[in-house]
Amino acid sequence: MDLTIDTADGTAEAFVSRPETAEHDVPGVLLFPDIFGLRPQIRTMMDRIASWGYVVLAPNVFYRSGTVDDLAPTVDLREPGERDGYIAKVFPLREGLTSDLSRPDTAAYLDALLTLPGVTGDVGVIGYCMGARLALRAGGDHTDRIATVGGFHGGGLATDESDSPHLSLATTRAAVLLRHADDDPSMPREGMDVIASLARESGVPLDQDVYPGAPHGYSMADTSMYDETAAERHFEDLREHLARRLARHGE
């Protein structure tokens, strides 16, 4: 493990990826993984994003329930039925990570990212599946730190609950990029419309779209939902979004 982060409720492990060339004055990116947590696939994605010129940190958001090794998938999520079966196993962890718990955690993760050697300036936050919820809330809670938010195949982003993630658009100063899965019951068109409406009212730069034919979880090459075309489009869109919003030293 690359790093441990002290929180009010314990210690969270984290992966860190750095660009090979830049050592100083590098923007930081906080990455929230999907429900399957920290694993080789997340490392691979982090390394690719880091190669664009960012220091990327991804925390074990389920640290209260176990270490990265404790929680790592024990089955091949690409095999028929294994992904859904494992989701049923870890679903209680997601439900237990309430906004009351995750919000102070996010502050600790940002502190850790910004104290890493060479990290400077505004931060980007990105999230996948359930991580998109955490990313949106982070953007609304930490307006002095976060300049850009990205969410990919997120679910439950606009609900009737008082802590619905989309409500963070009322306070964020970040530019927001959302790329939804196609025909995703967890992110219906009505929810997208609610997000777009609040973003307009709040003056938030929002780039929201659906990848046609892409299933929920399209970016994760270690699961049965992987869609290479959508995954590559997500990397292209994310790279452009970060480059526009996160200034490097001298730029």
pLDDT at 115 over 70: yes
Q: How far apart are CA 228 and CA 245, in angstroms?
A: 26
Which one-letter DSSP state was computed for residue 248? P
Q: If you search the block for the tokens 């502190």, which residue do you land on?
A: 111
Per residue in 87-107, pLDDT (tens digit) is 998 999 999 999 999 999 999
Per residue in 9-48, pLDDT (tens digit) is 999 999 999 998 766 789 999 999 999 999 999 999 999 9
pLDDT at 251 over 60: no
Residue 115 vs residues 33, 57, 119, 120: alpha-carbon distances, Å: 21, 11, 7, 9
pLDDT at 192 over 80: yes
0.85 exceeded by pTM: yes
Percent of the chain exceeding pLDDT 70 equals 97
Q: Provide mean pLDDT across the span 124-130.
A: 98
* Residues 6+ positions from 250 with CB-CB distance below 8 Å: 25
Which one-letter DSSP state was computed for residue 23? -
Backbone dihedral angles phi then psi of residue 46, each to the nearest 5 degrees: -60, -45
pLDDT at 177 over 90: yes
Q: What is the mean pLDDT of the chain?
A: 95
Q: Provide mean pLDDT across the span 125-133.
A: 98
- pLDDT band, residue 247 (cuts 50/70/90): low
Q: How far apart are CA 139 and CA 106, in angstroms?
A: 10
User: Do 250 and 68 meet the contact criterion of CB atoms below 8 Å apart?
Assistant: no
